[in-house]
Amino acid sequence: MGWAIALHGGAGDIPLSLPLESRQPREEALRRCLQIGVEALKAKKPSLDVVELVVRELENIPQFNAGKGSVLTNKGTVEMEASIMDGSTKNCGAVSGLKTVVNAVSLARLVMEKTPHVYLAFDGAEEFAKEQGIETADSSHFITAENVERLKQANEAHRVQLDYTQPLQNGSKEERPNANGDVQLGTVGCVSVDSYGNLAAATSTGGLVNKRVGRIGDSPIIGAGTYASELCAVSCTGKGEAILCATVARDVAAMMEFKGVPLEEAASYVIHECMPKGTAGLVAVSAAGEVAMPYNTTGMFRACATEDGYSEVAIWSAS
């Protein structure tokens, strides 16, 4: 037993040749966010507080696709979404279509705690944010030069992309600097189990580069991108559409609950046997303090730590 925490900064086609200047700040950031989470758990904070805290931190980091640094819609705007779930009570909150809210995950928590609802979106969500006095910023706060460039590329390539882009699919083998070096960012998420055995999960994102205005992915969908029960907590990343149809987060917990399989096996099965290759990754913890971080993409920015002293920050697989 004991506490455990895992977090991610997105799964995708992260090339092994990722330059140091793209790799290092992200690893640093993951390490820092992990520390924040670990300290909170050591200070006996409940899981729900821990995951919100860590995801807020990840949202504020422009290198990841959430909050500041969110990828852009086909109109060059941001539409951010997030969800949070408390495994002990199954209470949950979700938001979509945010344009000015600095921390989507915190608004999701407010939906859960201050309204009779679970999910608010677009204008209604922004209005609620104003009523709650939560921190907002002008849209320009969230938009980074890298994302403007990503959108431009996606438009040129005429496609909607996971924020990790493979080299442009045209005849020439020419790889733009960005296509290979700087597209490595993604959805963020955190799961934890505290010293009392309470589990929680939270996920936040800007979505897909060049997505249609109004497009909702898996991150705010309970059971798809986020889920927590008394057995485990799960946060997913990857191709939102694939994760949605496959109700990934719920399936991990359902296999544990209905089939009695342990965390590692359930998580691995859902990712490796149920999901098309290159579409998904997840982080999960169990009530018993175990951690699983499977992915079927080239890599996944991730980090985890357990009370017995184990900790890891990684992008690709160990082997």
Partner 1 sequence: MGWAIAVHGGAGDISRSLPHERRQPREEALRHCLQIGIKALQSNLSPLDVVELVVRELENIPHFNAGRGSVLTSKGTVEMEASIMDGNTMRCGAVSGLTTVLNAVSLARLVMEKTPHIYLAFDGAEQFAREQGVEIVDSSHFITPENVERLKLAKEANRVQIDYNAQPIQNDTKKEAPCANGDSQIGTVGCVAVDCHGNLASATSTGGLVNKMAGRIGDTPVIGAGTYANELCAVSATGKGESIIRGTVARDVAALMEFKGLSLKEAADCVVHERTPKGTVGLIAVSAAGEVAMPFNTTGMFRGCATEDGHLEVAIWSDAEI
Q: Which of 64, 128, 142, 295 binds partner 1 (CB under 8 A)?
A: 128
**Total residues interacting with partner 1, rule: CB under 8 A:** 44
Give the sheet arrangement for strand 226-228, strand by strand.
Answer: 226-228, 232-238, 280-286, 291-292
Q: Check residue 213 for interaction with partner 1 (CB under 8 A).
A: yes
Q: Check residue 230 for interaction with partner 1 (CB under 8 A).
A: no
Task: Output DSSP code: residue 169.
Answer: -
Whether 237 is catalytic:
no
- Give the nearer residue to partner 1 in terms of CB position, either 55 or 246: 246
- Is residue 186 within 8 A of residue 243, CB to CB? The reply is no
- Give the nearer residue to partner 1 in terms of CB position, either 45 or 239: 239
Q: Which of 48, 224, 271, 291 binds partner 1 (CB under 8 A)?
A: 224
Report the C-alpha dihedral over residues 137, 140, 144, 148, rounded to 10 degrees. 140
Q: Check residue 154 for interaction with partner 1 (CB under 8 A).
A: no
Q: Which of 60, 88, 100, 115 binds partner 1 (CB under 8 A)?
A: 115
Q: Check residue 217 for interaction with partner 1 (CB under 8 A).
A: yes
- Measure the CA–CA gap between 301 and 232, rounded to whole angstroms: 21
Angle between helices 248-259 and 263-274 (to 10 degrees): 130
Q: Check residue 227 for interaction with partner 1 (CB under 8 A).
A: yes
Q: Check residue 163 for interaction with partner 1 (CB under 8 A).
A: no
Q: Check residue 45 for interaction with partner 1 (CB under 8 A).
A: no
- Is residue 101 within 8 A of residue 80, CB to CB? The reply is yes
Per-residue interface string for the shown chain with partner 1, residues 172-211, x marking contact by CB under 8 A: ---------------------------------------x
- Measure the CA–CA gap between 97 and 45, rounded to whole angstroms: 30
Residues in 237-256 that interact with partner 1 by CB under 8 A: 240-241, 244-247, 250-251, 254-255
- Measure the CA–CA gap between 27 and 32, rounded to whole angstroms: 9
Q: Check residue 117 for interaction with partner 1 (CB under 8 A).
A: yes
- Measure the CA–CA gap between 75 and 92, rounded to whole angstroms: 30
Element (H, E) at 244: helix 240-245
Helix (H, G, I), strand (E, B) or coil at 28: helix
Per-residue interface string for the shown chain with partner 1, residues 5-44, x marking contact by CB under 8 A: ----------------------------------------
Q: Check residue 156 for interaction with partner 1 (CB under 8 A).
A: no
Nearest to 230 by CA among 123, 55, 91: 91
Tokens 């913890």 belong to 285
Residue 139 CB, nearest approach to partner 1 (Å): 15
- Interface stretch with partner 1, choices 13-21, 53-61, 116-124, 183-191 (CB under 8 A): 116-124
Task: Output DSSP code: residue 301.
Answer: E
Residues in 47-76 that interact with partner 1 by CB under 8 A: none
Q: Of 187, 203, 226, 279, which residue is the catalytic one?
A: 187
- Is residue 96 within 8 A of residue 244, CB to CB? The reply is no
Nearest to 235 by CA among 2, 4, 10: 10
Residues in 254-283 that interact with partner 1 by CB under 8 A: 254-255, 258-259
Residue 108 CB, nearest approach to partner 1 (Å): 12
Nearest to 12 by CA among 244, 241, 299: 299
Q: How far, in whole angstroms, is CA 116 from its chain's centroid?
A: 25
Which residues of the shown chain bind partner 1 in the complex (CB under 8 A)? 90-92, 94, 96-97, 115-125, 127-128, 160, 211-217, 221-224, 227, 240-241, 244-247, 250-251, 254-255, 258-259
Would you name the residues annotated as active-site residues? Answer: 187
